[in-house]
Chains A and B, each alone.
Chain A
Amino acid sequence: MHIIIWIIAGALLPWFPFSWIFNRLLVSAPGAWARALAVLVLPQLGLLLLLKSGAWMSLGQEMPQTLRALALFTAILYAYRAAGTRDVQIWARLMATSGLSLTWLLVGLLPRYWDVQFFVLAWSIPAALMLLWAGILTQRTGGSYLGLTGGFARVMPRLSVLMSLTALAATATPVFPNFFALLQAMASLPISWMPLLLLVLLLWGWTVGRLLQDLLFGIYRGEPVDDLSVGGTWLGGLTLGVFALVGLFWGGIWIIN
């Protein structure tokens, strides 16, 4: 019974190879809003399944080495793969998978349900926002691939700013909550395992650098497009601002734990 629970949980709160199913589910969601909702809800369902079935706590304080290795492998694999794509939607999915897989490092460590829930949200929220921006980009330009036109900073400055900030938020940049979530994940590891997690951090730096380079720089070579509305920009900015503020306050919880 437990094996089935682990497999279903692995498909919702992704770890390799079941992370493939998680990504497939996101791809099959109809439209940007559905995908954003899915990336918010699916990991929470996986977490709920683990906690309610008792599978989470059954592992106790001592995490099995294989589970730890699998979680880190998933994070590294998906971060590396994200560097190889220039499509915002795919990038957001792969990065979400990479970040969410780190939740498995906290098995048995966080006693309060809402602590783990918040850890998961720290990766889901920027991924959901990025999927929304990818949807808007698709609406305006016919796709979210950045390799063809480039130079969006000049033609869509508002959307570019939001996308840049969200990409930074998705890759554990301070003062967004993921940064502190990553600190928490680091604290959960023995020192000899830490370099692997730091490799994830390095790969995220690489992927976000490549994304921003494709997104912002160069002369735009596409059809004239409309930027995001001012209201939409304020809403997006406010969401990211609140997200960052929560990060600032939540940062301390890691120290208490």
Chain B
Amino acid sequence: MGELAIIIPFLPVLSALIIFVFMPKARKGAARISVFLTLLTFLLALVELVTYALGGFSRVEIIGTLWGSIWLDPLTLIMWSFVCGISLLVHMYSVRYMVEEANYTRFFALLDLMTATILFMVSAADLITFLVAWFLVGVVLYFLLGHDTDRPAAGRYAFWTQITYRAGDVPLWLAAFILIRTYHSISLPDIFERLQMHSHVPAFWGLSVPELVGFLLAFAAFARSAQFLLHGWLPYTMDGPTPVSALMHAGIVNAGGFLFNRFFPVFEHASIVLHFVFIVGLITAVVGSAMMLIQNDVKRSLGYSTMGQMGFMVMECGVGAFALAVFHLIAHGFFKASLFLGAGNIIGEAREHDGVPSDPVYTSIVERRPAKPSRLPWLAAAALTIIVPVVVLSLSHLFVSTRLLHEQGVIILLFFGWVTGAQALFATHKMTHSNPWRLMGGILGSFVLVVIGYTLISHYFGHFLYPHGGAYQLYNAASINIVYFDVLVIILALLFVGAWALTFLADSSGWWDRADQGRWRGVYLAMYALLSRELYVNDLYARLTQVLLNGARRLNVLLRWC
């Protein structure tokens, strides 16, 4: 089976080479070859995954003599199947979607190269292979995003992506060299083994090697997964072709979550990094979701939705739920791919029917009309809103493992599950419906199903990814002092419940209309400008770039261009 596994990441390379060298003009043939070899890659990846699930074991396969190796562990096999699955969908979709575009064959060759690069990245067993693949993902993505060379905007936004990725490469290089220097190996399994034995080697600024490396890896992950302040490029990747947006948002942007999982032994000894990661993820989730709500472009809205989801995924890593982050990235990948690939149809529909649909869900959530009197008693609605998610989430975890409920990370995730579940129920309460109990019942039923399914899957998935109990060590590493933890949860719970009460009161008393007209209008407009200019993050970077470029030009003139 070893030879079979080695073949898998090379198949898309072969496809790209065949297209570049032999079929640069054969549009149909190139697409067929590309789809067929991607399908074959996907099937082989599935075979490897099933073989492992039926009693296989983790192993390293060597490709080169001095570097170049792949690590066939559960994480690699899961990621291979996921990446090939998404890639196959995107390939099949592109066959017709891109048919009228110039450089059709080059597009397929680049898609194949991208698939191959990601496959190498997720399976690299040594740091050199990992750096090479990690670096190349940014390069190939640049050309995919800039596929339409006639549009300067495509080039501009491809460049934004490329430079952010490069900024993320820098801490990764440093982390890699610190690991190589400290543990005297480039092999990841060897490094991790030595790290378990010597985890308190001092580095700089009072940090140990795992802590310093953890911070550096986290920064690399932040750039790839569009965390706050490194997120400006993500919503603008929509300027690339739709299949690339799908591949980007469904697969490539998840690299941050993968990086945390691949280097999980480092984070077992880097609690401080996990706390930092949690805060950054939380800020990103809130900012991304808030920005998503004010977009009037469906694709950009999806872009900010991805940012919010990435924030949540990174937050999961911050609480030690690494396996859940992988499950999240797979689930998010598939649903975001389907949303992107369907976005074109929705835009077409909207062009045909430009009237605002008279849908109560739309009216309530999107148009934000004042809450109408509900037929459901408010006390019942409030009780359902607050109690039901808690009961469902707690029971589902108790059902799979009582130990889980003693982990702080799980409690935090339960808390966020409760917040989002309660939010959904609260929104339902505001809707008018001929049979509100039935509506609420239906939503509660779906909630129970989704939560139980999610909990079960994530639990067994965790066991599959970390069969030797690594998942619990990560939860422990992410834990904080119990008193601080309890205070934090109580404050957050009060904050959320208070905010809901305030929102409900404001809606029913018409505060928003008064704020728009009275002395708060200035603040309201400033807030609107701040959000519509996307917090001025990109403007700030543009200004900084201009200053730096002016400096470079002045230096060139001073030194007479020599």
A186-B173, A201-B166, A202-B170 are known contacts. Are A81 and B559 too (CB-CB below 8 A)? Answer: yes
Determine which residue in B150, B151, B155 has the highest number of CB atoms from chain A within 10 A of its CB, and name it.
B155
A191 near B152: Cβ-Cβ < 8 Å: no
B553 near A24: Cβ-Cβ < 8 Å: no
A20 near B562: Cβ-Cβ < 8 Å: yes
A205 near B162: Cβ-Cβ < 8 Å: yes
Chain B residues with CB under 8 Å of A255's CB are 66-67, 128, 186
A252 near B64: Cβ-Cβ < 8 Å: yes
Residue of A with least CB distance to B151:
A217
Interface segment, B174-182, B417-425, B449-457?
Answer: B174-182
B174 near A168: Cβ-Cβ < 8 Å: no
Chain B residues with CB under 8 Å of A256's CB are 66
A80-B552, A218-B152 are known contacts. Are A195 and B163 too (CB-CB below 8 A)? Answer: no
Chain B residues with CB under 8 Å of A206's CB are 163, 166
Of A81, A199, A216, the contact of B556 (CB 8 Å cutoff): A81
Q: Does B146 make an interface contact (CB < 8 A)?
A: yes
Interface residues of A in 62-78 (CB under 8 A from B): 77
Q: Does A173 make an interface contact (CB < 8 A)?
A: yes
A84 near B549: Cβ-Cβ < 8 Å: yes
Q: Does B22 make an interface contact (CB < 8 A)?
A: no
A252 near B66: Cβ-Cβ < 8 Å: yes
A205 near B166: Cβ-Cβ < 8 Å: yes
Interface residues of B in 122-139 (CB under 8 A from A): 128, 131-132, 135-136, 139
Of A24, A194, A219, A252, the contact of B562 (CB 8 Å cutoff): A24
Interface of chain B, main secondary structure: helix
Q: Smallest Cβ distance from B148 to chain A, in angstroms?
A: 9
Q: A187-B177, A253-B66 are in contact. List 17 more A-B contacts (CB 8 A).
A: A23-B562, A27-B562, A80-B555, A84-B552, A85-B561, A179-B132, A191-B177, A195-B174, A201-B173, A205-B167, A209-B159, A210-B159, A216-B146, A216-B149, A219-B150, A252-B66, A255-B128
A217 near B149: Cβ-Cβ < 8 Å: yes
B135 near A217: Cβ-Cβ < 8 Å: no
Cα of A186 to Cα of B131 in the assembled complex, Å? 13
Q: Does B65 make an interface contact (CB < 8 A)?
A: yes
A83 near B162: Cβ-Cβ < 8 Å: no
Cβ contacts A188-215/B at 8 Å (1 or 0 each): 0001101100110110011001101100
Q: Smallest Cβ distance from B479 to chain A, in angstroms?
A: 30
Cα of A80 to Cα of B204 in the assembled complex, Å? 28
B151 near A81: Cβ-Cβ < 8 Å: no
Chain A residues with CB under 8 Å of B186's CB are 255
Q: Smallest Cβ distance from A153 to chain B, in angstroms?
A: 4
B150 near A194: Cβ-Cβ < 8 Å: no
Q: Does B154 make an interface contact (CB < 8 A)?
A: yes
Interface residues of B in 526-562 (CB under 8 A from A): 548-549, 551-553, 555-556, 559, 561-562
Q: Does A151 make an interface contact (CB < 8 A)?
A: yes
A217 near B166: Cβ-Cβ < 8 Å: no
Q: Does B169 make an interface contact (CB < 8 A)?
A: yes
Chain B residues with CB under 8 Å of A93's CB are 562
